[in-house]
Amino acid sequence: MSKNSATNATTKVSPFVLLIIILTLVLSLTALIIALSTFESNVIAAGWLTLIGALGVVISTYVLLQARRRTQEKIATPPTLTTVECTKCGFKNVREFQRGDYIFKEAEKCEKCGNPTQIAAIYREVKEGHKERYRF
Amino acid sequence: MNLLLAFTSLQNGLMQFPTDIQTILSLVFYLVFILFIFYGQRIQMYVMIREVEGSLYRLKYIKDEGRKTAVETIKEIGKPQTDPTARVDRFLEYFTIAPQNLDPAGIVWKLEHILDIRDDRLKDEVKLMAPAANETQTNNLENTLEAAMALNYIYKIIRHFYLLGKKTLSLYVIMQLQMILPLIMREAEAYASALKAFAYGQPIGDGAGALVAAKLMHGHEIRKLPKDCVGATVQIEGRTAFVIKAEGPGGNVGKPGDAIKTVIDENGGKINMVIMIDAAMKLEGEGVGEVAEGVGAAIGGPGVDQFKIEDSILEYHIPINAVIIKEDIGDAVSPMRKEIYESVDKAIERMKQLILERTKEGDKVIIAGIGNTIGVAQ
Q: Within a 10 A sphere around the Cβ of A20, how many other Cβ atoms?
A: 13
Interface predicted TM-score of the whole assembly (ipTM), two decimals? 0.83
pLDDT above 80 for A110 = yes
Q: Which amino acid is at A64?
A: L
Write out pLDDT tens, residues B331-368.
Answer: 898 899 999 999 999 999 999 999 999 999 999 999 99
Alpha helix (H) residue ranges in chain B: 2-16, 18-73, 85-92, 107-129, 135-168, 171-200, 208-217, 256-266, 304-316, 329-333, 338-358
Among the ranges given (A59-68, A72-81, B82-91, B260-269), the one the predictor scored with the smallest mean pLDDT: A72-81
Query: End-to-end alpha-carbon separation of chain A, Å?
Result: 39
pLDDT above 70 for B19 = no
Mean per-residue pLDDT, B134-160: 92
pLDDT range class, residue A12, cuts 50, 70, 90: low
Q: Which residue has the higher pLDDT, A15 or B338?
A: B338
| A19 touching B (Cβ < 8 Å) | no
pLDDT range class, residue A33, cuts 50, 70, 90: confident
**Hey, where are the domains in chain B?**
47-200, 205-369
Structure pTM?
Answer: 0.81
Which chain B residue's Cα is nearest to A46?
A: B14
Per-window interface: B 317-356 vs A, CB < 8 A: 334-341
| A99 touching B (Cβ < 8 Å) | yes
Write out pLDDT tens, residues B264-277.
Answer: 999 999 999 999 99
Report the residue from A37, A49, A80 with minimal CB separation from B335.
A80
Mean per-residue pLDDT, A11-16: 65
Q: Tell me if B328 sits within 8 A of B282, measured CB to CB.
A: yes
Q: Tell me if A107 sits within 8 A of A93, measured CB to CB.
A: no
pLDDT recorded at residue B274: 96
pLDDT recorded at residue A2: 38
Average pLDDT, chain B: 90
Cα maximum dimension of chain A:
88
Mean per-residue pLDDT, B73-98: 90
Beta-strand relationship, B291-295 and B223-225: unpaired
| A125 touching B (Cβ < 8 Å) | yes
pLDDT above 80 for A103 = yes
Mean per-residue pLDDT, A118-125: 92
pLDDT recorded at residue A10: 44
pLDDT above 80 for B68 = yes
CA B249 to chain centre: 19
Q: Above pLDDT 90, what percent of chain B?
A: 68
pLDDT above 50 for B80 = yes
pLDDT above 90 for B223 = yes
pLDDT recorded at residue A3: 40
Chain B residues with CB inside 8 Å of A136's CB? 285
pLDDT above 50 for A9 = no
CATH number listed for the domain at residues B205-369: 3.40.50.1470
pLDDT recorded at residue B210: 95
pLDDT above 90 for B318 = yes
Write out pLDDT tens, residues B32-50.
Answer: 899 889 888 888 888 888 8
